[in-house]
Amino acid sequence: MTNQTRQASAQELELIFQRELATDRWAATETAYALAVRLRDAGDWPKSREWVQQCLQLLGGFPSETEDQVATTRVAVGGVPLPNYLHAGVIRERFGDLG
């Protein structure tokens, strides 16, 4: 795993995502969010949209009735700060039309 605060490339984050998807779906969801942010900030709107959709799809598989269920487990992924809570409302707020 890379250092959570080091600025990872989108390619590195994609590799991390693939590894996490097989072992820890919540971590993979957090990494998908980080990829969406990284690509949006780089101006790659189509790829960012893909990762927003991936994040939303993964979030759909988790309960979201309580704060504990949507609390992120890391502060940052690959240098991208994570929100304290990760759910569809946060995605729509942060990504607007991309979500």
The H helix count followed by the E strand count for the chain is 5, 2
The per-residue pLDDT for 1 is 45
Boundaries of every domain in the chain: 10-98
Phi-psi region of 66 (alpha: psi -120 to 50; beta: other; left: phi over 0): beta
The per-residue pLDDT for 42 is 95
Long-range CB pairs of 81-85, under 8 A, 24+ apart, other chains included? 82/30, 82/33, 82/34, 83/33
User: pLDDT tens digits for 54-76?
Assistant: 999 999 999 999 999 999 999 99
The per-residue pLDDT for 50 is 97
∠ CA 39-70-59, nearest 5°, is: 55
The per-residue pLDDT for 2 is 45
Q: Say what the pTM is.
A: 0.91
Is the Cβ–Cβ distance between 89 and 55 less than 8 Å? no
Taking 50 as the pLDDT cut, the residues of the chain under it are 1-3
